[in-house]
């Protein structure tokens, strides 16, 4: 009996060891695939029918009917002759800044080249050029964009060459040509008065762009065709290189797995904009110090003429600070988006790190970003082969051998010796590494390291990926657009592109000042708000889909034309009588005011497309599924409205 028990115990021990080895092997072999497995971690809400597109709630994801009459139309509508090779000369440009500044600057450069009747040399993107050792496959402009598509798509508007002729290129190296640093909102008269004469004289002129543009947003009516040229550049000629588009569409497919829609959300939490508006008190610890340090720099540079210390909560109350992810989550839950809604977190920089996103993830478990939708190999292939950076001195601290330690002990002097003082707290690598490690030791921000410069170049690719995914989203919610800093922002560019390409897509355009008032009115009851507050939030966000365009026209368009490219770059299939009959308020009528009627060929094409879409949809299934979702959510709303103190659990 005892021997049998021993054999049984031995067998259990062997099986346990074998199981442990198998688990360790699987853990090691799948370590590199953890990111990719995250794309299969979506949990479907009970209200969804997996694999059925008809189950989408049209009140949350459907098109905005009031905007279905707007269509993209950026073709010239008056005399716009082809460019002449016998022109005034060449323009080359260096563009500094991130994704948003680069995109806006390129569009302005093409417009300036057209105004000056000059040949444009493909702009140089400095964020990729100054990074040493990046992929040899891509350089400067082609690091993000398809260079050949850019040149060919604008062949009828501006002559574009990849580089200067050899003799002029050599003269440029010797700095024989004049250069200009135009302001972000330089008027056309600046170029016709100051730049044109130098261009005709030297045949080559250089432009250095640092402010995210070089031409004012609102041009005179006589230059309306130049505005349409901007649209052709931004929405047709500036195509990302094929690797970015392919991976971006793959991310969209993974988000829409099982036929489910998704919402894209860009927090807009960037250090520069937060410092510009004085939003330091919204953060804690080191992040507040970083914002204040950057604000001090902006004051020294003359960009800000205000005091260093301001009331961040007062700024947030007037809409100058972003909506925090927690607040956006509450607003989306109030709108009726189920907890299992798939939300794509866009943006290469979220100041404050993942800590500020935790409340949003608690309310919506299916919050993902590019790192959870793509494997490491996919992102590495997008970056391409790179030269390894020199070793970091903090990577491996010097370790003394046993022999060295013995020699030091022997040379230490007579014994007994007093005990040495206790060592200082060790400084770990994660405390030294990164762009914030200097705060605890120095008063000045150090020069960027090679790894930081390379990371800045990579951010261009991450923003490009997020741009593709945000553009294709079934709904888009901005965290910080129209910030008034005169810098182009990611959300405004996405919203403008969605307005141009598919105006009826669901794009929220909230008034942050109004939302701040609503959030402050129920600050102690945000997760269990009264019914009247819920109705007020729904009413504002639903109205923002259309009425928010008037706000963009007044505020955002003054800074960036690409954020609101209508009516210059659109046309309508609605008639004036239909607009007056269907428009419930003046906002819709003012939106269509000044819109040209779409040409006949476009109307016929749109009719065929609408007929095909109607034939492929099952209206009965949509109505049934919509009713089921509405009933399920209405029951929840009835419970919360009948008892104002009932809690809206973020983990529900």
Token representation of residue 26: 């699987």
H-type alpha helices, 122-210: 126-129, 147-153, 166-173, 188-190, 196-202
Q: Dihedral of CA 308/313/319/321: which sign?
A: positive
Contact 91, 119 (CB under 8 A): yes
**What are the tens digits of pLDDT across the range 442-492?**
667 777 777 778 888 899 999 999 999 999 999 999 998 877 777 888 999
Render pLDDT for 517-569 as a digit per residue (tens, 0 to 9).
999 988 778 888 889 999 999 999 999 999 888 888 888 888 889 999 999 99
Contact (CB, 8 A) for 80 and 440? no
117 has a pLDDT exceeding 50? yes
How far from chain centre, in Å, is Cα 196? 36
- Residue with the larger pLDDT of the pair 34 and 226: 226
Give the chain's largest Cα–Cα span.
107
pTM, to two decimals: 0.82
- Looking at 201-205, 210-214, 279-283, 592-596, which range is the least confident one? 592-596
* Residue with more model confidence, 219 or 522: 219
Q: Give the C-alpha distances (Å, rounded to integers) separating 614 from 578, 610, 617.
A: 22, 6, 5
Question: In which residue are the tokens 């994801």 written?
Answer: 61
For residue 264, report the phi and psi dihedrals to the nearest 5 degrees. Answer: -100, 135
332: Cα within 13 Å, side-chain hemisphere: 34
Neighbours of 176 (CB within 10 A): 11
User: What domains does the chain contain, in order, with CATH numbers?
Assistant: 82-239 (3.40.50), 244-269+322-380+458-642 (no CATH)
CB 490 within 8 A of CB 266: yes
Strand order in the sheet with 70-72: 70-72, 570-572, 596-597
Strands 475-478 and 262-266, by their bridges, are: parallel
Q: Cα(591)–Cα(547) distance, rounded to whole angstroms?
A: 9
* 627 pLDDT above the threshold of 80: no
pLDDT at 636 over 60: no
Residue carrying the six token digits 């990046």: 134
pLDDT at 600: 84
Mean pLDDT of the chain: 82
pLDDT of 649 over the 50 cut = no
| Residue 445: predicted pLDDT | 72
Closest CA to 586 of 547, 623, 536: 547
| Sequence-separated (6 or more) residues with CB below 8 Å from residue 358 | none
Quote the tokens at residue 209: 């762009």
Sole residue written with tokens 């050599």 = 170
pLDDT tens figures, 8-32: 778 878 888 777 777 766 655 544 4
- Identify the burial level of 270 via C-beta atoms within 10 angstroms of its C-beta, where 0-12 means exposed, 13-18 middle and 19 or more buried: buried
């Amino acid at each position: 009996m005892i021997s049998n028990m021993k054999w049984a115990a031995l067998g259990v021990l062997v099986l346990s060891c074998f199981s442990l080895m198998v688990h360790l092997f699987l853990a090691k072999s799948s370590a590199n695939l953890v990111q990719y497995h995250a794309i299969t971690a979506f949990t479907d809400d009970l209200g969804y029918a997996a694999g059925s597109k008809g189950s989408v709630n049209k009140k949350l994801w459907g098109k905005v009917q009031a905007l279905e009459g707007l269509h993209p139309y950026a073709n010239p509508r008056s005399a716009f002759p082809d460019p002449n090779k016998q022109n005034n000369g060449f323009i080359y440009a260096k563009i500094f800044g991130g994704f948003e500044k680069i995109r806006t600057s390129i569009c302005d450069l093409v417009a300036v080249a057209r105004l000056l009747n000059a040949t444009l040399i493909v702009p140089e993107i400095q964020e990729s050029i100054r990074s040493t050792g990046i992929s040899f496959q891509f350089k400067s402009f082609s690091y993000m964009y398809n260079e050949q598509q850019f040149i060919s798509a604008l062949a009828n508007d501006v002559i574009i060459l990849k580089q200067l002729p050899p003799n002029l290129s050599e003269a440029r190296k010797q700095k024989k040509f004049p250069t200009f640093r135009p302001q972000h909102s330089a008027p056309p008269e600046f170029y016709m008065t100051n730049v044109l004469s130098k261009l005709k004289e030297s045949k080559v002129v250089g432009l250095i762009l640092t402010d995210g543009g070089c031409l004012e947003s609102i041009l005179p009516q006589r230059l309306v065709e130049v505005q349409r040229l901007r649209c052709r550049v931004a929405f047709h000629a500036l195509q990302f290189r094929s690797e970015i588009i392919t991976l971006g569409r793959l991310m969209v497919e993974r988000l829409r797995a099982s036929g489910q829609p998704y919402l894209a959300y860009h927090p807009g939490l960037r250090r520069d904009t937060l410092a510009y508006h004085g939003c330091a008190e919204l953060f804690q610890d080191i992040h507040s110090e970083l914002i204040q340090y950057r604000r001090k720099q902006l004051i020294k540079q003359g960009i800000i003429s205000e005091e260093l210390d301001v009331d961040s909560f007062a700024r947030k109350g007037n809409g100058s600070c972003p909506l925090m992810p927690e607040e956006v989550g509450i607003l989306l839950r109030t709108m009726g988006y189920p907890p299992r809604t798939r939300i794509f977190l866009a943006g290469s920089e979220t100041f404050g790190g993942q800590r500020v996103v935790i409340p949003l993830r608690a309310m919506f478990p299916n919050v993902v970003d590019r790192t959870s939708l793509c494997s490491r190999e996919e992102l590495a292939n997008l970056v391409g082969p790179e030269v390894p950076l020199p070793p970091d001195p903090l990577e491996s601290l010097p370790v003394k051998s046993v022999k060295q330690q013995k020699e030091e002990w022997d040379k230490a002097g007579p014994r007994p010796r007093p005990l040495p003082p206790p060592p200082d707290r060790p400084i770990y690598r994660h405390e030294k590494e990164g762009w914030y490690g200097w705060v605890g030791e120095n008063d000045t921000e150090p020069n960027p390291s090679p790894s930081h410069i390379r990371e800045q170049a990579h951010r261009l690719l991450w923003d490009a990926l997020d741009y593709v995914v945000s553009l294709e989203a079934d709904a888009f919610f901005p965290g910080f657009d129209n910030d008034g800093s005169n810098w182009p922002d990611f959300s405004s560019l996405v919203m403008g592109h969605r307005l141009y390409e598919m105006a009826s897509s669901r794009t929220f355009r909230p008034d942050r000042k109004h939302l701040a008032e609503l959030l402050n009115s129920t600050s102690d009851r945000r997760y269990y708000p009264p019914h009247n507050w819920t109705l007020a939030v729904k009413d504002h966000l639903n109205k923002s889909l259309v009425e928010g365009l008037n706000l963009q026209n007044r505020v955002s368009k003054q800074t960036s034309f690409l954020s609101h490219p209508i009516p210059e770059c659109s046309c309508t299939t609605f008639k004036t009588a239909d607009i007056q009959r269907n428009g419930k308020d003046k906002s819709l009528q003012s939106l269509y005011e000044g819109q040209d009627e779409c040409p006949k060929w476009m109307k016929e094409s749109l009719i065929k497309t609408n007929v095909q879409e109607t034939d492929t949809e099952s209206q009965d299934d949509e109505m049934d599924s919509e009713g089921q979702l509405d009933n399920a959510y209405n029951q929840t709303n009835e419970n919360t409205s009948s008892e104002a103190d009932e809690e809206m659990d973020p983990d529900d």
